[in-house]
Amino acid sequence: MTSATPPVRNTLAVALHYDKQGAPRVVAKGKGAIGEKIVETAKKHDVPVQENEVLAGALSNVELGDEIPAELYKAVAEVLIFVMKLSGRLR
């Protein structure tokens, strides 16, 4: 017998918000069904998604609403550049 419900992947997702004041903040995070929902919601609203398991793991340790730690600035800056290129705001 097969299940009609697809198995939930162990997706880890972290959403960041950057308003150009201070450092980016963690605004959502979750694993499994919650992680899948974060990715699904981002895609539904045309928010770029970049897969980076190592960075997501590090960011998952940041409390919701907190700025990212200085040791993750470079990695997150690379994600912001990726997003800006996708949106056409950077060549």
Count of domains for the chain: 1
Helix H or strand E encompassing 15: strand 12-17
- Residues 13 and 10: their CA atoms lie apart, in Å, by 10
Q: pLDDT at residue 59 above 60?
A: yes
- The CATH number of the domain holding residue 82 is 3.40.1690.10
Helices (H) and strands (E) in the chain, counts: 3, 2
Q: Residue 76's pLDDT is what?
A: 95
Q: Residue 23's pLDDT is what?
A: 95
Burial class (CB in 10 A: 0-12, 13-18, 19+), 68: buried
Q: How confident is the model at residue 77 (pLDDT cuts 50, 70, 90)?
A: very high
| CB-CB contact of 42 with 17 (8 Å) | no
Q: Give the range of the structural domain holding residue 64, as residue numbers without chain letter.
A: 12-87
- Classify residue 2: in a domain, yes or no: no
pLDDT digits (tens, 9 = 90+) for 9-58: 789 999 999 888 999 999 999 999 999 999 999 999 988 898 999 999 99
Write down the pTM of the prediction: 0.82
Q: Residue 88's pLDDT is what?
A: 79
